[in-house]
Amino acid sequence: MKRNRRKRILIVSLIIILGFSIIIFSKNAKSGKIKPLTMEQKLEDFEYLYDFIADNSPFLKVNERVNGVNWLGEKEKFKSKIEEADTDEMFISEIGRIIRKLNNPHTYVFGDMDFLYLYSFYSDEEYKDMYKPWFDTISDEKVLKRYEFDEEKLEGIQGEDSPGSDVAYCKTDIIIPNKVAYLKIEQMRHERIEKDGAIIREFLGEIKDYDKLIIDIRNNPGGSDLYWKENIVEPLINKKITVENYGFIRGDYGKSFYEHTGTEIFPVTDLDKNILNNFPDEIETDFKYYLKLQKTIEPVDPIGFDGKIYLIVNNKVYSAAESFASFCKDSDFATLVGGTTGKDGIGTNPLVFSLPNSGLIINFNGILGLNGDGTINAEVGIIPDVEINPAIGATYERDQAIQYIIND
């Protein structure tokens, strides 16, 4: 059962990591193997993209409030840029720029190698049925042609260790002997769960009688929720903890994907008015469906730690790292110290959709997740319990967040 959970999280964590990669299409666009798109086809793809985002994006108003971008209002500007795209390569680049104006790190165009890894996961025979809507989307004939997919390429990456999988992403230290311990988590890579976990558990066992444990996730881009659940929370808690957040879906596209995985989706109209009154106004006016995002964690071989736990965060904490920060704050597992997180860490598997003529695959965050206090995570992030300069000091003595914790 644990293997199943890890496989599901691996899909999510890889997609998240791919979102930080550089999208390169020059080979496919210039290879001559794909018939060039006509201007009519390019414009049709743009119209499809625009309508899809208009109907399904949960973050349009957030983007407008936070970044001052009225994405829907820029349609004619976007369209004129598409009309200037004489080649497929220019068209693909322009689509990427248009999507980036949504200002959502989980929404982007897949590049060649990214797509190959994506296909490798969703085509896994053990999980293809569970994620059938995803697989059906990426295995469309036009999509495979666009990405010049073939089995040899797939076989070439299967069984390979991903870059960085032989590097530990955790560092341990003692700041004050017998009093203050320090654990730095740089990334939450799925493939490092077991190896890093061995390092972390050994360290936690050594400091179990300390007064304070500092967990530092500043600049952590995320990865897998299982990394922090299994390696940090399970050994440190002494009783079961459950945290629940609300997620909201605007259009019908995402509903069918999530329901296929067994997720229960409900109409927003079913929510009690007293609950809705605690949420932003746009939930009731702009969203059709909601789901409950629940995390339940039970202790596993607990070390018996009774000291205080602190989590240091900043604005470069994303994805699974932000999910950890959210869990810590909502459950009181740890006291958050530092700066507001990077946002958009509450949700579940990103969706994918394709453009009908070009076959481009776009990763898409279909859920607007709310913090425990009812605020929009993608808008406000996770605000620490103690707001203090989160800059990483050259030494512990010159690190304001660490010094605050030592003296707390």
Four-residue CA torsion sign, 143, 146, 147, 152: positive
DSSP-H helix ranges across 57-192: 60-67, 75-83, 88-100, 112-122, 132-138, 141-146, 151-157
The whole-angstrom separation of Cα 37 and Cα 371 is 43
For the beta carbon of residue 345, count every other beta carbon within 10 angstroms. Answer: 28
H/E stretch holding 170: strand 170-176
The whole-angstrom separation of Cα 191 and Cα 188 is 9
pLDDT tens, the chain, 408 aa long? 344 444 444 555 554 444 444 444 544 444 446 899 999 999 999 999 999 999 999 999 999 999 999 999 999 999 999 999 999 999 999 999 999 999 998 999 999 989 998 998 888 887 789 999 999 999 999 999 999 998 877 877 765 555 556 789 999 999 999 999 999 999 999 889 999 999 999 999 999 999 999 999 999 999 899 999 999 999 999 999 999 999 999 999 999 999 999 999 999 999 999 999 999 999 999 999 999 999 999 999 999 999 999 999 999 999 999 999 999 999 999 999 999 999 888 988 899 999 999 999 999 999 999 999 999 999 999 999 999 999 999 999 999 999 999 999
- Enumerate residues 6+ apart whose C-beta is below 8 A from 336: 310, 311, 313, 325, 328, 329, 382, 383, 384, 385, 386
Q: Which of 222, 266, 250, 245 is nearest to 59 (CA)?
A: 250
What pLDDT, in 10s, does the model give residues 54-87?
999 999 999 999 999 999 999 999 999 999 999 9
The whole-angstrom separation of Cα 27 and Cα 55 is 32
The whole-angstrom separation of Cα 20 and Cα 158 is 21
Of the chain, the end-to-end C-alpha distance in Å amounts to 41
The domain 170-251+288-343+381-407 is placed in CATH, from the list 3.40.50.11540, 3.90.226.10, 3.30.450.20, 2.30.110.10, at 3.90.226.10
The whole-angstrom separation of Cα 46 and Cα 51 is 9
Long-range interactions of 232-235: CB distance < 8 A, separation 24+: 232/183, 232/185, 232/200, 232/324, 233/297, 233/327, 233/333, 234/297, 234/298, 234/299, 234/300, 234/301, 234/302, 235/200, 235/201, 235/204, 235/299, 235/300, 235/301, 235/302, 235/303, 235/305
Task: List every span in the chain annotated with CATH 3.90.226.10.
Answer: 170-251+288-343+381-407
Q: Which of 392, 281, 265 is nearest to 338 (CA)?
A: 392
Long-range interactions of 398-406: CB distance < 8 A, separation 24+: 401/312, 401/337, 401/338, 402/175, 402/182, 402/214, 402/216, 402/312, 404/337, 405/180, 405/212, 405/214, 405/310, 405/312, 405/337, 406/175, 406/176, 406/180, 406/212
The separation between CA 242 and the C-alpha centre of its own chain, rounded to angstroms, equals 20
Q: What single letter denotes the amino acid at residue 324? A: F
Q: Which two tokens stand for residue 276?
A: 């809705």
